[in-house]
């Protein structure tokens, strides 16, 4: 954030002016040229929302096409020169690349553009730093930030020395950029130990419910599909829910009474996003463990999203990575109210064998919620006890 002087002489917060850069690489995507272009444009639109979630203002979007990333500058010398001119002309505070940059590429780009540069990992971490509310969430963010920062400590150019604060610079992991690698490593080890202790405490809290018959259902899905809104609707809770990417970072659990015969623990978890780097998944393993330990997953999908199929695939890839791919799962298609009127029907959908395949709902219109509760009750009866290995 930067500041500006208001009419009364006070300094008012003002979003940083951000230029977003996306490069369409030949290796990215499959299918026809039109399909790949559509995927690229969808990813860019999502990146604009990520910038907004981080507190920035995307005042300019630049695109390029390359066979492969330029080793030193990612975009190549010619495009880098164009970007440098645009930065100066538009008074850009920060350039965000919707890609993962190497430390060398990031340093070279900052020299060339004479402006701070952030890659996709740094941008997501900046959002996480704004969203973390619990001790464990903050520790995980700091660990991820420091791990990302470790290779980016040497900034050999003076034009950035006076710049403090702003997107990606305010989190607990970047409060002292002068910290050397040895102290960074020491802090990382300390954070890991604290997270191990918190993981043990979480396991102890979870043990009583695992030893009983109560089942745990975890809401999972792409970011901003309505998981927290659904959680609030089902549990009558008031957890933070907003129409923005990564509105929820910390895991929340509530007891949910479905019927006299069915009572469950429902957990709300952080949303996933495309191209979620492995280092972020590793850093948030403690939070994601709640998903991996669930008896049943409720995979919430934005039914109205044009790329819902790709979002489903992205979520399923992360579930596989955290060893949750084999957990019984029900797809919950939300936001049906945003579909054409003839497609807004809600309720339970079953496969040829009569098993629940999906549930269609609208949290906003409060339709299909009873059908979802019915599906949960049916799955609760079918879900294995904690000492069983397979779902019948």
d(CA 240, CA 259): 26
> So what's the pLDDT on residue 392?
26
Angle between helices 285-292 and 135-149 (to 10 degrees): 120
> So what's the pLDDT on residue 287?
66
More reliable by pLDDT, 163 or 147: 147
For residue 187, what are the contacts with CB-CB under 8 A and spacing of at least 6?
Answer: 142, 146, 179
Confidence of residue 138 (pLDDT cuts 50, 70, 90): confident
d(CA 300, CA 360): 10
**Per the annotation, where are the binding residues?**
221-228, 246-250, 268-271, 334-337
DSSP strand pairing (347-350 vs 356-360): antiparallel
Question: 33 phi and psi, to 5 degrees?
Answer: -60, -40
Q: Quick one: average pLDDT of 157-163?
A: 38
d(CA 109, CA 227): 38
Which of 324, 254, 258 minimizes the C-alpha distance to 285? 324
**Average pLDDT for the chain:** 82
Q: 378: which 2 tokens?
A: 């049916």
Which of 301, 372, 369, 373 minimizes the C-alpha distance to 335? 301
Q: Where in the chain do CATH 3.40.50.11060 domains reside?
A: 13-174
% of the chain exceeding 90 in pLDDT: 46
For residue 375, what are the contacts with CB-CB under 8 A and spacing of at least 6?
Answer: 330, 348, 356, 359
User: Could you say which DSSP state residue 1 is in?
Assistant: -
More reliable by pLDDT, 110 or 38: 110
DSSP strand pairing (116-118 vs 356-360): unpaired
Model confidence at 86: pLDDT above 60? yes
Residue 28 · residue 40 · CB < 8 Å: yes
Which of 327, 299, 331 minimizes the C-alpha distance to 384? 327
Residues facing 253 on adjacent strands: 267
> So what's the pLDDT on residue 289?
77
Confidence of residue 78 (pLDDT cuts 50, 70, 90): very high
CATH code at 213-382: 3.40.50.300
pLDDT for 257-277, tens place per residue?
998 888 999 988 877 887 777
Q: 169: which 2 tokens?
A: 């610079």
Q: Quick one: average pLDDT of 359-364?
A: 97
- Average the pLDDT over each of 150-164, 321-335, 365-379 and give the range with the smallest value: 150-164
Q: Where in the chain do CATH 3.40.50.300 domains reside?
A: 213-382
DSSP strand pairing (2-5 vs 11-14): antiparallel
**Per the annotation, where are the binding residues for Mg(2+)?**
228, 248
Model confidence at 279: pLDDT above 80? no
- Average the pLDDT over each of 138-142, 200-204, 337-341, 365-369 and give the range with the smallest value: 200-204
Does the model's pTM come out above 0.85?
no
d(CA 252, CA 125): 20
**Per the annotation, where are the binding residues for GTP?**
221-228, 246-250, 268-271, 334-337
d(CA 153, CA 145): 12
Residue 275 · residue 197 · CB < 8 Å: no
User: Could you say which DSSP state residue 237 is in?
Assistant: -
How big is the chain by its Cα radius of gyration, in Å? 23
Which of 91, 130, 113, 107 minimizes the C-alpha distance to 21? 113
> So what's the pLDDT on residue 1?
46
More reliable by pLDDT, 119 or 279: 119
> So what's the pLDDT on residue 319?
92
% of the chain exceeding 70 in pLDDT: 80
Q: Quick one: average pLDDT of 223-238?
A: 87
CATH architecture of 13-174: 3-Layer(aba) Sandwich (3.40)
Which of 83, 275, 283, 65 minimizes the C-alpha distance to 171? 283
Q: Which residue has the tokens 């579909």?
A: 339
């Amino acid at each position: 954030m930067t500041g500006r002087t208001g009419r009364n002489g006070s300094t008012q917060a003002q979003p940083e002016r951000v230029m977003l850069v996306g490069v369409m690489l030949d290796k990215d995507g499959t299918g026809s040229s039109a399909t790949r272009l559509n995927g690229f444009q969808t990813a860019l639109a999502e990146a604009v929302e990520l910038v907004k979630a981080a507190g920035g203002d995307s005042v300019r979007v630049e695109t390029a096409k390359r066979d492969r990333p330029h080793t030193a500058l990612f975009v190549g010398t010619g495009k880098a020169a164009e970007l440098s001119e645009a930065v100066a002309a538009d008074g850009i505070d920060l350039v965000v690349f919707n890609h993962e940059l190497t430390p060398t590429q990031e340093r070279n780009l900052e020299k060339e553009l004479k402006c701070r540069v952030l890659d996709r990992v740094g941008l997501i971490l900046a959002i996480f730093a704004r969203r973390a509310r619990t001790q464990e969430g903050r520790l995980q963010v700091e660990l991820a930030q420091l791990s990302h920062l470790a290779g980016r400590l040497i900034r050999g150019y003076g034009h950035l020395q006076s710049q403090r604060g702003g997107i990606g610079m305010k989190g607990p992991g970047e409060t002292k950029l002068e910290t050397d690698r040895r102290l960074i490593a020491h802090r990382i080890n300390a954070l890991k130990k604290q997270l191990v202790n918190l993981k043990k405490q979480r396991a102890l809290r979870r043990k009583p419910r695992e030893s009983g018959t109560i089942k745990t259902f975890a809401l999972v899905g792409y970011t901003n599909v309505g998981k927290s809104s659904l959680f609030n609707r089902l549990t009558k809770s008031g957890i933070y829910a907003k129409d923005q990417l990564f509105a929820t970072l910390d895991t929340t659990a509530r007891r949910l009474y479905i019927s006299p015969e069915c009572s469950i623990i429902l957990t709300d978890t952080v949303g996933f996003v495309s191209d979620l780097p492995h280092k972020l998944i590793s850093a948030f393993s403690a939070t994601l463990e709640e998903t991996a330990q669930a008896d049943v997953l409720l995979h919430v999908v934005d039914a109205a999203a044009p790329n819902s199929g790709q979002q489903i695939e992205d979520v399923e890839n992360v579930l596989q990575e955290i060893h949750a791919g084999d957990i019984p799962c029900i797809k919950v298609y939300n936001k049906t109210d945003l579909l054409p009127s003839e497609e807004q029907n809600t309720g339970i959908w079953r496969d040829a064998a009569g098993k629940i395949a999906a549930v269609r709902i609208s949290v906003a219109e409060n339709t299909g919620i009873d059908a979802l509760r019915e599906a949960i009750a049916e799955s609760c009866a079918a879900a294995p006890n904690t000492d069983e290995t397979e779902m019948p």
